[in-house]
Amino acid sequence: MSTRLSQLFVRTLREDPVDAEVASHRLLVRAGYIRRQAPGVFAWLPLGLKVRRKIEAIIRDELEAFGAQEVLFPGLLPREPYEVTNRWTEYGDGIFRLKDRKGADYLLAPTHEEVFTLLVKDLYSSYKDLPLSLYQIQDKYRDEARPRAGLLRGREFTMKDSYSFDYTDAGLDASYQQHRDAYERIFTRLGLDYVIVKADAGAMGGSRSEEFLHPTPVGEDTFVRSAGGYAANVEAFTTAVPEPRSFDGLTPAEVLDTPDTPTIAALVDVANGKHPRPDGRAWTAADTLKNIVLALTALDGTRELVVVGIPGDRDIDLKRAEVAFAPADVEAANEGDFAKHPGLVKGYIGPWSPSGAVLGAAQTGEPARSTTGIRFLLDPRVSEGTGWITGANVHGQHVFGLVAGRDFHSDGIIEVGSVVAGDPAPDGSGPVELARGMEIGHVFQLGRKYADALGLKVLDENGKLVTVTMGSYGIGVTRILAVIAESNNDGKGLIWPKNVAPFDVHVAVAGKDVAVMAIGETIVDSLEESGFDVLFDDRPKVSPGVKFGDAELLGVPLIVIVGRDAAEGTVELWNRRTGDRTSVAMIELGAALAAQP
């Protein structure tokens, strides 16, 4: 039985909904696939559900193909498992919490690592039961501070999450690879461009982590890639570290007057004007060492200052800083922080001063504490043997030719500098370019963090208890639907890829003649017999313009128009993706449809 537009529960909107900004949100609402229920929460209408289920079917197919098994956990979970792993606390305001009538705490699950781990612990206890991959397709809940962009960042969203269980590292590698391969097949079948990038393993404590990003300007992740094949989320980018250089031939550091130079730009100007380089080249911001004071707030609320030294032509990327200092919160130091450390002369901060080390240690082989005692971390580019212009901790003075490793030392290296196009990839594969992407999948070696915390162990071949090692693999189902819509539309409407389109073909009758309508019925019947899933626009009193507009909006990629030439046995085949509109004899319609790209 075909689906008739006259009966389908859908109402298309002629105008864009005022609260929708991005294309996917606008079009999915206008075309009647979804309706907003609350901020970041959406109801699914028949058309939307059909597409969703097609996406889910492809995901299931590829996971089952390598032996993963589907389970389903509730969205409503008790507090206890999350208490054990401390995530009840770590999630902070990020999750929906509620109490039952007895006052017991529950949450709407943001992710399910704990309960998967506990389920396997309940039932399995031998290495013979492993490896095991389980997955579910379930709604997740996050109390986003600001949901946005429709389905792309909601507070309720559907995710496929898988977990693998192994008792050896090699086993985990294999399970990880199985998922990674399956994800490649899934995204290919979905017709979605993707880039696999190195991701930050973060506070989860995992060893290997990669993200599948769909390149799109509305993406919220920035990633880099080189022509030679390096690809990484900008948060996981590592700077190519220069070789240490010898101190031979380097002149001693020299303190010079640099009045009115609170900014790097002013400093470069003054340096070139008053203290030009002996070799004639002009000073640039890259010759300066900028020392930025950050305040870290740990989970327990304690506040610590840290100074980061980076080349003056770089900024600190706060996202990279959050990752580098996780789980602490990072912000710029405020006036109060400076007041507590008079040794730091604002605008003229540096690791060294005429009276000794302010940050880090003073001399090679003299690990004496600096006068401030503040942790001092360096960008990797500030490597041993490089010389810098940097603050002398005296108002109006900078020190020139201060050499890393000779005149000052850090308490460590840190990756917080902004990444810019042209930076060298760390694997030597050439300069990187930057692009935006939306995360559509994530594969992640969790290792033993959850198994340790929750006590998931099995007996190995030798009868010894070993802790299970886990992987976690996610795909955002509803996000993928939105991303597909985002990348498959032409402004007039959606254009679904064949594999996820709600119908194979959209048949519209254009014309007043009841005979034409009857021909339309015949065509629909025969297409259905040939196995096509057909959406039939049988609305009798709707003008052709409206039908064409709705056909474009709804986004079924192949449209058949039964109209003026129907009596002669000819219909029009309209391929939305190519834009081609061709006349086709009815008897050849099935073959012509099957042959469409």
Rg (CA), the chain: 31
Check binding of 39 to RNA (CB under 7 A): yes
**Footprint (CB under 7 A) of RNA, residues 303-322:** 318-319, 322
Q: How far apart are CA 292 and CA 307, in angstroms?
A: 5
Residues 330-359 that bind RNA (CB under 7 A): 330
Q: Residue 284, interface with RNA (CB under 7 A)? A: no
Select from 40, 447, 557, 590 the one that contacts RNA (CB under 7 A).
40
DSSP bridge partners of 4: 536
Report the residue number, 300 or 366, with the smaller CB distance to RNA. Answer: 300
Contacting residues for 189 by C-beta, under 8 A, at least 6 apart: 58, 62, 499
User: Which one of the spans 70-78, 175-183, 365-373, 556-564 is the region binding RNA (CB under 7 A)?
Assistant: 556-564
544 binds RNA (CB under 7 A): yes
Q: Does 561 bind RNA (CB under 7 A)?
A: yes
For RNA, the closer of residues 65 and 585 by Cβ is 585
Return the SS3 of 584: strand
CA angle 217–219–225, rounded 5-degree value: 80
Closer of 90 and 461 to RNA (Cβ): 90
Choices 16-24, 261-269, 405-413, 445-453; region in contact with RNA by CB under 7 A: 16-24
Site mask for RNA (CB under 7 A), range 511-530, x = bound: xx------------------
- Cβ(452)–Cβ(440) below 8 Å: no
- The structure tokens listed for 547 are 């039908």
CA distances to 84, 94, 113, 190, 212 from 444, rounded to whole Å, are: 21, 21, 12, 22, 11
* Closest to 150 (Cα-Cα) out of 249, 22, 17, 276: 22
**Token match 């308490």: residue?**
411
Q: Under the criterion CB under 7 A, does residue 13 sit at the interface with RNA?
A: yes
If binding means CB under 7 A, how many residues of this protein chain bind RNA? Answer: 65
Question: 151 CB contacts (<8 Å, ≥6 apart)?
Answer: 24, 25, 28, 34, 42, 157, 478, 479, 481, 482
Q: Is 476 an interacting residue with respect to RNA (CB under 7 A)?
A: yes
Which of 17, 347, 424, 426 lies at the binding interface for RNA (CB under 7 A)? 17
How would you write 431-472 as a 3-class SS string? EEEEEEEEEEEEEEEEECHHHHHHCCEEECCCCCEEECEEEE
- Is 198 a binding residue for RNA by CB under 7 A? The answer is no
Q: Considering only residues 242, 385, 401, 549, which one is a binding residue for RNA as defined by CB under 7 A?
A: 549
| Choice from 28, 47, 120, 149 touching RNA (CB under 7 A) | 149
Under rule CB under 7 A, residue 417 binds RNA? no
Check residue 398 for interaction with RNA (CB under 7 A).
no
**Other residues' Cβ atoms within 10 Å of the Cβ of residue 343:** 16
Residues that bind RNA (CB under 7 A): 11-21, 36, 38-40, 94, 140, 142, 144-149, 152-155, 157, 159, 211, 220, 318-319, 322, 330, 439, 442, 474, 476, 478-479, 492, 510-512, 541, 543-546, 548-550, 552-553, 561-566, 572, 574, 581
